């Protein structure tokens, strides 16, 4: 099964995407004057939170507006999505969310209090990050080919830990198994920390997760990353090979993080946020710091971002359906 998602495919049909209706302004609309909340669906100190605070601080410096990061942790990031749905669409509340809560939750949760494709209007992508396959340092394989050979020779031991059942890393493992012709069994964990601990101790032979979950531990020798999912090597770790360059050219795909507004937000306000976020991300110090955090900065138009999330939803829905996964 091919799992490649090219940028051209992601952007195809963007002209047919339904965006919030509004009367276009001849002059750029400025951001609201009051405090602007950036909702984050995860606890303070996590990757999304750190990146949100970095951008919020630089936006404050650029615009003179007050930006406040508000953590609405819970239900895999979807509590923040609920909050955005009921927020007044006046530009005073936006959301920074990853694909996990902006796309995958709709496919894998038995019930959501919001529909991200109906209740959230895309503003811009913030950046992309790669997924990675890591193995225990006690396991022999150092390449994908060696890992596949090991998995086929040891079918009863062939498993991979994932940060949560129904998560993007979980289904990336499903795709990996199909693309390599192996029978890998998913082992669910409550987050990256316990998975990394078991990888380090050899309790689980391999694991799938965001590159940002594994990179620090790879450098410390607690686990070994043998491949990443990007079309090119990650900017944060150019020494790590991709699946593609190891001969698995169909295993290509990025995860992402992006900004959203309430669905009824006027288009000029969405454009104002898009313009200011893009200018902020273009700052050299912001770009460098985001790369250090494992994110590859990339902004888009609202239409491009909408096309990307819908293409990802179609891609992963097929995988979820074919896997037989039940919430």
Residue 289, in any domain of the structure: yes
Statement to judge: residues 181 and 276 lie in one domain: no
Considering the chain, what is the average pLDDT of its residues? 88
Question: What is the pTM assigned to this prediction?
Answer: 0.80
Same domain, 192 and 270: no
Q: How many CB atoms lie within 10 A of CB 79?
A: 18
Burial category of 184 from C-beta neighbours within 10 Å (exposed 0-12, middle 13-18, buried 19 and up): buried
Q: Say yes or no: 233 and 289 in one domain.
A: no
Token couple for 9: 């495919």
Of the pLDDT bands very low, low, confident and very high (cuts 50, 70, 90), residue 256 is very high
Residue 70 has pLDDT above 80, yes or no: yes
pLDDT tens for 133-180 read 999 999 999 999 999 999 999 999 999 998 877 888 888 999 899 999
- The pLDDT assigned to 15 comes to 40
Separation CA 202–CA 265 (nearest Å):
50
Query: Does one domain contain both 221 and 313?
Result: no
Residue 16 lies in a domain: no
Q: Answer yes or no: are the C-beta atoms of 133 and 162 closer than 8 Å.
A: no
Residue 40 lies in a domain: yes
Same structural domain for residues 149 and 228?
yes
What is the reported pLDDT for 18?
A: 42
Contact 235, 152 (CB under 8 A): no
Q: Verify that 268 and 119 share a domain, yes or no.
A: yes
The b/e string for 8-23 (b: 16+ C-beta within 10 A; e otherwise) is eebbeebeeeeebeee
Same domain, residue pair 137 and 68: no
* Total count of domains within the chain: 2
272 and 123, same structural domain?
A: yes
Domain end point (choices 226, 246, 266)? 246
Q: What confidence score (pLDDT) does residue 11 get?
A: 41
Query: For 15-49, what is each residue's pLDDT tens digit?
Result: 434 444 333 334 456 898 889 999 999 888 877 89
Residues 261 and 316 in one domain: yes
* pLDDT at site 12: 40
The tokens describing 80, both together, are 């923040």
Model confidence at 254, pLDDT cuts 50, 70, 90, reads: confident
From 213, 246, 279, the end of a domain falls on 246
Give the DSSP letter string of 59-78.
Answer: HHHHH---EEEEE---GGGH
Please compute the mean of the pLDDT values over residues 42-67 and round it to a whole number.
91
Check residue 26 and give its pLDDT.
Answer: 43
Q: What SS3 state is found at 53? A: helix
Q: Are residues 41 and 102 in the same domain?
A: yes
Do 125 and 142 belong to one domain?
Answer: no
Domain of 110: which CATH number?
Answer: 3.40.190.150
Average pLDDT over residues 203-225: 92
Residues 96 and 148 in one domain: no
Q: Is residue 24 part of a domain?
A: no
Average pLDDT for 286-292: 93
- Say what the alpha-carbon torsion angle 215, 162, 169, 252 is, to the nearest 10 degrees: 70
**What pLDDT does residue 28 have?**
59
Has residue 312 been placed in a domain?
yes
CATH of the domain at 161: 3.40.190.10
228 confidence band (pLDDT: 50, 70, 90) = very high
Residue 26 lies in a domain: no
pLDDT above 70 covers a percentage of the chain that reads 91
pLDDT single digits (tens) 186-204: 998 877 888 999 999 999 9
Q: Which domain holds residue 83?
A: 7-11+33-129+255-323
């Amino acid at each position: 099964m091919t799992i490649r998602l090219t940028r051209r495919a992601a952007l195809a049909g963007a002209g047919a995407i339904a965006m919030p209706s509004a009367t276009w302004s001849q002059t750029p609309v400025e951001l609201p004057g009051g405090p602007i909340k950036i909702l984050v669906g995860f606890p303070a100190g996590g990757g999304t939170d750190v990146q949100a605070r970095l951008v919020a601080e630089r936006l404050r410096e650029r615009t003179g507006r007050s930006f406040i990061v508000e953590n609405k942790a819970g239900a895999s990031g979807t509590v923040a999505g609920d909050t955005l749905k009921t927020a007044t669409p006046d530009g005073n509340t936006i959301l920074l969310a990853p694909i996990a809560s902006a796309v995958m939750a709709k496919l894998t949760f038995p019930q959501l209090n919001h529909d991200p494709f109906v209740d959230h209007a895309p503003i811009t992508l913030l950046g992309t990050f790669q997924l990675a396959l890591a193995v225990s340092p006690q396991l022999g394989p150092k390449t994908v080919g060696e890992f596949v050979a090991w998995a086929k020779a040891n079918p009863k031991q062939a498993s991979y830990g994932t940060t949560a059942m129904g998560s993007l890393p979980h289904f990336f493992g499903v795709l990996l198994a199909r693309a390599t012709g192996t029978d890998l069994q998913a082992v669910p964990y409550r987050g990256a920390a316990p998975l990394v601990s078991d990888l380090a101790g050899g309790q689980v032979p391999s694991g799938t997760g965001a590159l940002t979950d594994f990179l620090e531990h790879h450098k410390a020798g607690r686990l070994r990353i043998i491949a990443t999912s990007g079309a090119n090597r990650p900017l944060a770790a150019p020494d790590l090979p991709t699946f593609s360059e190891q001969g698995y050219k169909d295993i290509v795909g990025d995860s992402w993080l992006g900004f959203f507004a309430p669905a009824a937000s006027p288009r000029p306000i969405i454009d104002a946020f898009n313009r200011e976020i893009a200018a902020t991300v273009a700052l050299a110090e912001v770009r460098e710091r985001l790369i250090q955090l494992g994110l590859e900065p990339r902004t888009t138009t609202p239409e491009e971002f909408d096309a990307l999330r819908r293409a990802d939803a179609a891609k992963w829905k097929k995988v979820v359906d074919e896997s037989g996964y039940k919430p």
